[in-house]
Structure 1
Amino acid sequence: MVDPPEDADFEEVARSFAALWHALTVAGGNAHGPERRRFLIDQVRNALDRGEDRLAGHDTTIIANTFLLEALVHEGATTRVHRARHRDLESLHAIKTLRPEQADDPVARTLLLREARIGGVIRHPNVAATQTLLRLADGRPALVLEWIDRSLADLVREAPLSVGGITQIIAAVLSGLDAIHAAGYVHGDLSLSNLRYPGDDLSRLKIGDFGIALETGRRHRDLDIAFAGRPQFAPPEQVAGQALDGRSDLHAAGLILSTLLDHCQETGAIVERLRRLATELARPQPQERPENAKAALHLLGGLDQEIPG
């Protein structure tokens, strides 16, 4: 049997609740409209969720009573990514959440919610699908994503690449970038680990991780973060904290193409022309690069006709 709360504790909670209720209804009703009042109430629910979960010590291996977290596959400074299995459908998914100690970090939370919104508006065969956004018992957002088991980082460690395979990869990257840019965004974080494909099918390669994606023409400092991206692939304007556009992603694509060619044992005219394309994409100044991903695809298309299947 649970002991009743001490009278003093109960009275303190009752007084606090009465003050909160007054702020949300009487005082809030005079100062705020219905939408603002609903927002305030939702924030109170968030705070209660976080506090109750920390006290109760809930089982975190099952979330939303639906997904079983099977393995931690990536851990960053503010987020974690798990491979998860749907308990009824048996389907695999990637679930990205804030680290528990980041639960109250407003910048980290805002970035994850932005990632969900951006991923939700882009639908393309070469862009990893954002499936839904959940709220965990402790109030943290959890982003449910398409599970894709392999990355280019895995591929380059395993075996030399063929010219045909490299061409498939860069065509998929440029096609996905074209869709991202058409939606008004810059990915800003292309890397071998963020380019993923299922099984052995490079033609189905997809761009993932919109954690630091930006609206075209914005800078990362607009999101209250200093430098964001991978130094080995970031263009000069990103390193300098300047505004980005689609050509910034083309620079990263050019460096990725160059990296893939370094893992190719084939030689000849086609390889040299692909290297020249990589150089064109990764020119230091944005105005020196192709105008957009479509123009880069056109340049690749001329090469593709010369590459044996």
Structure 2
Amino acid sequence: MSADQPPDGLNDIAARFSELWRALSHDGDAPREPAETGMLADRVRDALDRRLSQLNEANAIFIANTFVVEAVVHDGMPAQVHRVRHRDLQTLHALKTLRPDHADDAVSRDLLLREARLSMKISHPNVASVHTALRLADGRPALIAAWMPFTLSDCLNTQLFSPREIRQAMISILSGVEAVHAAGLIHADIAPDNLLLSGEDLKDLKIADFGIALERGQRHGDLDLAAAGHSEFSAPEQMEGMVLDGRADLYACGLILTLLLERCEGEGRVQEKLAVLAGHLSQQERKSRPENVSAALRLLMKIDI
């Protein structure tokens, strides 16, 4: 078949296409509203893009004519996280937005956009930065980031780790924290739920969720976020509402290292040295912790496997 000749069967498809367009644009003999026709056409296009043999009866949700919502993976207060698929690239992404009942919450809206601005300051392999921000049809802001289906919490519940894997995980976490601090920020919510993975390799851990991150010299009370974050990983000074520095994030890293060691296979001198480092990082008095992330990384790198 030459490039100028239509493929076999095109005439039949063209005839059926006319019938399809009639069904999309009319309900019986009555014309549909343009918005309804557009929605139906979007659903047909999505099914064709995915090579589906039939349409799903559930109402598909399209965002910016680019993404289709596949699932709500987190439904909190006031934000939701959706797994969405790019309609042309067929790639998966995470979309974070406000719950519909918070669409008019000006404070939450401003905080979500603030999260996007802070996250986009950082480009590092161990930080899950926001790619862009969109505005939904009802005015809610929405943040788009890479889709990473697993968290360190998932791994802690299902896996055992070797000392080498634990050391690599901490290198990844501390390297990401170092990039956060280099951007003039304190993450203030380093926790297993906010450490994301695309697979099982702990070196690919990425720090996510800058919802309560602070710029250097701030306290959460300045942002009306006094009770924010995973309190079980919050440093004492954070719980007291003090101005934070990078050592607050080191405290959380020490607690995470302790959790990893609880899932460590076997015993030995390496585990003992890692346990000593975990205790150093998570000292109650911040002056007793390493002075910064670089110092913590140097201590970690001295532990030979």
Q: TM-score range by the shorter chain?
A: 0.7 to 0.9
Question: 2:138 is aligned with what amino acid?
Answer: D
Q: Does 1:98 align with 2:92?
A: no
Alignment match, 1:174: 174
Question: 1:212 is aligned with what amino acid?
Answer: I
Q: Does 1:215 align with 2:215?
A: yes
Deviation at 1:100, TM superposition (A): 0.7
- For residues 189 and 99 of structure 1, the distance between their equivalents in structure 2, rounded to whole angstroms, comes to 21
Q: Does 1:81 align with 2:114?
A: no
Runs of 4+ in 1 over 6 A off after TM superposition: none
On the 8 A contact 2:212/2:225 being kept in 1, the answer is no
Question: 2:88 is aligned with what amino acid?
Answer: D
Structure having the higher helix fraction is 1
Deviation at 1:226, TM superposition (A): 2.1
- For residues 164 and 150 of structure 1, the distance between their equivalents in structure 2, rounded to whole angstroms, comes to 20
Question: 2:76 is aligned with what amino acid?
Answer: G
The correspondence of residues 103-114 of structure 1 with structure 2, limited to 5 A, is 103-114=103-114
Alignment match, 2:68: 68
SS at match of 2:145: strand
Question: 2:259 is aligned with what amino acid?
Answer: T
Alignment match, 1:242: 242
Residues 188 and 107 of structure 1: CA distance in aligned 2, closer, same or farther (over 3 Å): same
TM-score of the aligned structures, taking structure 2 as reference length: 0.79
- For residues 120 and 285 of structure 1, the distance between their equivalents in structure 2, rounded to whole angstroms, comes to 32
The correspondence of residues 134-283 of structure 1 with structure 2, limited to 5 A, is 134-283=134-283
On the 8 A contact 1:107/1:224 being kept in 2, the answer is no
SS at match of 1:274: helix
- For residues 283 and 113 of structure 1, the distance between their equivalents in structure 2, rounded to whole angstroms, comes to 34
Deviation at 1:60, TM superposition (A): 7.2
- For residues 136 and 236 of structure 2, the distance between their equivalents in structure 1, rounded to whole angstroms, comes to 38
- For residues 215 and 207 of structure 1, the distance between their equivalents in structure 2, rounded to whole angstroms, comes to 17
SS at match of 1:273: helix
Q: Does 1:285 align with 2:285?
A: yes
- For residues 244 and 189 of structure 1, the distance between their equivalents in structure 2, rounded to whole angstroms, comes to 12
SS at match of 1:121: coil
SS at match of 1:193: helix
Alignment match, 2:54: none
- For residues 99 and 225 of structure 1, the distance between their equivalents in structure 2, rounded to whole angstroms, comes to 18
- For residues 194 and 179 of structure 2, the distance between their equivalents in structure 1, rounded to whole angstroms, comes to 16
How high is the sequence identity, in percent, across the aligned residues?
52
On the 8 A contact 1:132/1:144 being kept in 2, the answer is yes
- Which consecutive residues of structure 2, in runs of 5 or more, have no partner in the other structure? 1-29, 31-58
- For residues 60 and 185 of structure 2, the distance between their equivalents in structure 1, rounded to whole angstroms, comes to 34
Question: 1:247 is aligned with what amino acid?
Answer: R
- For residues 162 and 61 of structure 1, the distance between their equivalents in structure 2, rounded to whole angstroms, comes to 43
On the 8 A contact 1:254/1:281 being kept in 2, the answer is yes
- For residues 159 and 146 of structure 2, the distance between their equivalents in structure 1, rounded to whole angstroms, comes to 26
Residues 60 and 219 of structure 1: CA distance in aligned 2, closer, same or farther (over 3 Å): farther
SS at match of 1:210: coil
CA RMSD in angstroms comes to 1.4
The correspondence of residues 113-132 of structure 1 with structure 2, limited to 5 A, is 113-132=113-132
Q: Deviations over 1:74-125 (max 9, x none)?
A: 1111000011100001011000000011111122111100110011110001
SS at match of 1:232: helix
SS at match of 2:171: helix
SS at match of 1:221: helix
- For residues 231 and 300 of structure 1, the distance between their equivalents in structure 2, rounded to whole angstroms, comes to 25
TM-score of the aligned structures, taking structure 1 as reference length: 0.78
- Which consecutive residues of structure 1, in runs of 5 or more, have no partner in the other structure? 2-58
